[in-house]
Structure 1
């Protein structure tokens, strides 16, 4: 019987959190220590980069699904979570942090997964360093900042309102009407908010305003030759779906997939479909097959799932 309160294959954040090791601090340079969660497994490693005001726990459904299948690494960006503050905020600085982190933990040529503003870091990393695959979810190479974000964040910083944030009715409303599809169950929204509480550190908010605002990575995008999944939800009210679609067109080896009935956090809203697409990318990388061909091979499965995603 289908549970209307949770999508198929859904596992609660509490269950995932309780079965994984606690994150640990790792010094990646003289200035920066990052809080990371690293789980051993076969290569290629899946490395997750969260977005602005995000958390290393954002990909909790994928951490659960891929544990034992692949090596996993997720971390809090400098200035976020329990990571130290980065003295100078910039995309280049965060890319350098990621390179140092991968060197420290011994991860070579990962499949790099960026979410929201984290897609900017993933894109710029892939321009500079080899990756075996790339996943860009709910983001792209430009126009990542919605019109309402700048006045809102400036207000929060000026009045230090971030110090008052907690789980409340306002956060529920924002999650439902800004981040999620209308059909996303409340239980999933509860887990989204629990895994990604709004930060009370000023440095996390400054990471957004100083590093990500104005990002435009369209130059030299064609130098990224790794197979790339560009995944987006049609109900995303933060980053327009056309931004993702245009990004995919500029990448030489990209496939754009629209995940039906999802918003800005499809990886949590429809995890079984999302994970199926990630496994297709892993399979393409491991077998050196064309990503589009691998995706065509699972079309029958997706038809049985009532067309949950559409490859374009």
Structure 2
């Protein structure tokens, strides 16, 4: 049966049925011009459709051709073109992202990398509606890591994004104590990079308020959150941590420097006195 004309194909063809058309006609996919068929689409939607088509075709080829025995990582790298998706996320085009997720992500190896990149892009552009939608998708791994072992929660701390942190912390699978390659949890990273700002304080408050957070976790240099609080002069955090019965006030780092000694080295007499008073109160109890 001859292929239908372009005009016939274009008539009534919606964006949501685009991948179904590719599935039925993939052997003739190079006979038609996507640009001609979707000349009425916006640039961002056109690029997203082209990206969907590319990934869908690669999945078919992965099953039917000599690519069958390629390593999963190679398939992930070659099959995903995120330029169109990035445009959709940056502009808050949630409908295009929904279509993209629905039609193009049947290969688990592809989706593992794709889900990670979508999460990170949504964080980068502060697109909270898209982030919330992604977190509702059971296929998305909220704890997926980049090349340095950092998760979405690490990036939310890096971006100083309290809203994103609240969204991520509501996910039932979130690993609050995940260590990146530098040995930082999200909490340790927030404490280590504390700059005195209000948002930084609120982020620390949110993280330490979770009953699942390990407040005595140490980084690769043996430094705990109270060590970092003493180092950065964060009196408020030291005071809040002292109220936790499990906090270890004298946890020394790999060089044998305890929080109180670090405060002395930094010339922070207020924290020195605060730690001494807390220790004395504990001794009398």
State the TM-score, normalized to the length of structure 2.
0.28
Task: Decide which structure has the larger Cα Rg and report it.
Answer: 2
Q: Which has the higher contact order (CA 8 A, sep 6+)?
A: 1
Which one has the bigger helix percentage? 2
Which one has the bigger strand percentage? 1
State the TM-score, normalized to the length of structure 1.
0.27
